[in-house]
Structure 1
Amino acid sequence: MNIKITGTGSYIPANVEKNEDFHNHEFLNSDGTIIKAPTEVIVKKFKAITGIGERRYAKNHLNTSDLASFAAEKAIENAKLNREDLDYIIVAHNYGDVRHDSVQSDTVPSMASRVKHLLRIKNPNCVAYDLLFGCPGWVQGVIQANAFIKAGIAKKCLVIGAETLSRIIDPHDRDSMIYSDGAGAVIIEDTEDEGGIISHKSATYAFDEAHFIYFGETYNPKIKEDRRYIKMYGRKIYEFALKNVPLAMKSCLEDSQVDIKDVKKILIHQANEKMDEAIVKRFYELHDMAMPEGIMPMSIAKLGNSSVATIPTLYDFILKGELENQNIQKGDIIMFASVGAGMNINAIVYKH
């Protein structure tokens, strides 16, 4: 049984929000006090740490489920699949449909049911459900699809990661510059082709770490609106990720029995350029090796952090030749790895 990704698709919103567009923001500390630095300096430091120069925001009339369906259409077309043959639609997200200028997240019906509706799939045996697993949600969806196919209860699955984080950011929080919108999708099937998913690893750390990423109030004490925004303890997340993600990747690689020297690419969740680089460097240090040049493709500079969408959009970009100096060839061993709210971690070793 060779369970492989047979089609990919992504949707990148047209609206570009550049770093300079934040120069008129009033950024505050978490206690509401003013940051004693010009906004231009804050933005410049942000770019140096995260590597983000711009990000994409969805147009006002589009929601997460719309973005997800656009990416799904492309993946279905790429796989040359009859959509009525799909057994599962798994949609990873975090906040559902947050309509423009709304303070509420709408998840009834589920994103997956909305996507199935938008795809005009009639087959009632195509089961559609949502997956909430923080930023590692898309990777976890791939792991679940793999399990369904191995168990013999599915043959073809559509796994989507979609998010519109621009709708839940606090304009007074420096971290608001990290987040973006987007969607990526893949078709997963049991094929006659060589390769596929070799091994996977997942973990949840929730004893002390559950609330490192949370929903909190604006940093502006003058605003009395009862609304919540995505918030995080950046330093704690960095330390957590640097300690635990390389170990999960190492465990996953050991289970695969693949030699680390045979790994051609590591597609890691595009969270923060410096953090991602530190994670991959640590992974190679655990094997007494230096991080190979070009091993870690990055899309964060132009696309920002779109949570569950970063890895599938990155994968789609590389396969379609849209990321400069990056390619994946048939037979290449690659790794997917992610960390995010929960705190959740996962990794997959995959032969393309």
Structure 2
Amino acid sequence: MTTAAPQVFSRIAGTGSYLPERVVTNDELAQTVETSDEWIAARTGIRQRHIAAEGQLTSDLALEAAKRALDAAGMTADEIELIIVGTTTPDVIFPSTATIVQAKLGIAGCPAFDVNAACSGFIYGLTVADKFIRSGSVRNALVIGAETLTRMLDWTDRTTAVLFGDGAGAVVLKADAETGILSTHMHADGAKGDLLHNPVGVSKGFLPAEDRAGVRVIMAGHEVFKHAVKALDSVVEEALEANGIDRHQIDWLIPHQANLRIIEATAKRLEMPMDHVIVTVDRHGNTSSGSVPLALDEAVRSGRVQRGQLLLLEAFGGGFTWGSALIRY
């Protein structure tokens, strides 16, 4: 008689985050680009964002978030068996930012790699790590979302310059027999990539050094908004249906922090009051793959998110990519 293998979950053992010291308000941006605090806040909900210091790299932000997550989990770096960094702004083309973080943590040997799914990078990374743990390949993992996205902005373009900030968030996952990540769901639609993209790359070719404006985020805002709302609604329903859970059972919605109107639209479809939605976009701006783990860490450390509660994480990013994770914290 064959006995079924016991089910294994990936439990969030610790969370951590890091934001650069420099804060840039809407009023400060208005001194260099034609905009205003009222214009930005009304359209996005953003009031300020953090900007990485000169010489401060994505791996530096990721390292600080990782240390705090390890401390919260009561673990040391040498216990980590897998490192995944979700980022679209790596330190260099290679080696990966994950291996750089690995070296800065003073460890070696475990697999370490990056995932580039733009703003969905953390959800994608969380999904990959969860598969490793469920399969028994590793017992624990460090998953980080980190960005220095302001390094690729055209600061004269008010449609994008006002949106983004820098930051990092991290979680430590541990194998658990009872609870953790219930399911994750990932999707992509490459045919719509031109609606939100950066035009520079190695194979495509670099631009002359003097043409730094070429290294920029290009976004068709209205189209992105429309597709994001539809995709997030779909992936949220997918997560609920996969687990036989009613929307009213969700304790907290922790969404990608891109735009307050998108967040509110998702909450409305879930019939979830905004006081059960974690919102940091007003203070962080859009930190791309860093936004969901940053919001999660803030919610945990503020005491709002408690053990045993049901969390729904979701994100949408360039590619297009989108995904969700239903988690019993």
Same fold at TM > 0.5: yes
Identify the residue that residue 185 of structure 1 maps to in structure 2: 170
Determine whether 1:199 maps to 2:183. Answer: yes
Q: Is the 8 A contact 2:186 2:321 kept in 1?
A: yes
How far apart are 1:145 and its partner, in Å?
0.6
Does the residue aligned with 1:167 lie in a helix, a strand or coil?
helix
**CA positional deviation for 1:256:** 1.2
What's the counterpart of residue 66 of structure 1? 60
- Which residue number corresponds to residue 162 of structure 1? 146
TM-score by length of 2: 0.91
* Equivalence for 2:297: 316
Secondary structure at 2:276's aligned position in 1? coil
Aligned: 1:214 with 2:197: yes
C-alpha RMSD of the superposition: 1.6
Is this contact kept in 2: 1:89–1:116, CA < 8 A?
yes
Q: 1:20 — aligned with what?
A: 27
CA deviation profile, 1:228-280 (whole Å, cap 9, x unmatched): 21121110111101112101110111101122211011100000001221123
SS of corresponding position for 2:327:
strand
Q: Give the match's secondary structure for 1:328.
A: coil
Shift of 1:3: 1.6
Q: Does 1:48 align with 2:42?
A: yes
Contact 1:111–1:129 under 8 Å retained in 2 = yes
Aligned residues: 312
Aligned-partner Cα distance in 2 for 1:275–1:262? 21
State the shift of 1:224 in Å: 6.6
1:180 counterpart SS class? coil
Deviation of 1:330 after TM superposition, in Å, equals 1.6
Distance 1:291 1:75, change over 3 A: closer
The amino acid across from 1:346 in the alignment is: G
Alpha-carbon distance between aligned partners in 2 of 1:113 and 1:197, rounded to the nearest angstrom: 25
Q: Aligned with 1:91: secondary structure?
A: strand
Matched, 1:108 2:108: no
- d(CA) in 2 for partners of 1:183 and 1:291? 27
- Is the contact between residue 246 and residue 280 of structure 1 (CA under 8 Å) also seen in structure 2? no
Q: Secondary structure, in 3 states, of the residue corresponding to 1:154?
A: coil
Contact 1:241/1:279 (<8 A) preserved: no
TM-score (norm 1): 0.85
- In the alignment, the residues of structure 2 paired with residue 152 and residue 317 of structure 1 have an alpha-carbon distance, to the nearest angstrom, of 30
**Where does residue 203 of structure 2 map in the other structure?**
none
Question: Which of the numbers 102, 117, 123 marks the counterpart of 1:139?
Answer: 123
Match of 1:269 among 256, 263, 266: 256
Counterpart residue number, 1:90: 84
Aligned partner of residue 4 in structure 1, secondary structure: strand
One-letter code aligned to 1:3: S
* Aligned-pair CA distance for 1:61: 2.2
Partner amino acid, structure 2, of 1:189 = K
Q: 2:272 aligns with which of 272, 291, 316?
A: 291
After TM superposition, give the deviation of residue 216 of structure 1 in Å. 4.6
Q: Given that residues 22 and 50 in structure 2 are in contact (C-alpha distance below 8 angstroms), is that contact kept between their aligned partners in structure 1?
A: yes
SS of 1:229 mapped into structure 2: coil
SS, match of residue 56 in structure 2: coil
Contact 2:81 2:111 in 1 (8 A): yes
* Cα distance in 2 between the residues matched to 1:135 and 1:269: 7
How far apart, CA to CA, are the structure 2 residues paired with 1:329 and 1:111? 31
CA contact (8 A) 1:113 1:129 kept: yes
1:7 corresponds to which of 5, 14, 22: 14
- Where 1:294 maps in the other structure, the secondary structure is helix
Bigger helix share: 2
Q: Which amino acid aligns with 1:59?
A: A
Give the Cα–Cα distance (whole angstroms) in 2 for the partners of residues 167 and 293 of structure 1.
32
3-state SS of 1:25 partner: coil
Give runs of aligned pairs for residues 120-139 of structure 1, distance below 5 A.
Answer: 120-122=106-108, 124=109, 126-139=110-123
Work out whether residues 118 and 319 of structure 2, in 8 Å CA contact, stay in contact via their aligned partners in 1.
yes
How high is the sequence identity, in percent, across the aligned residues?
30
Unmatched segments (≥5 aa) in structure 2: 1-7, 201-208
Name the SS of the counterpart of 2:194 in structure 1.
coil
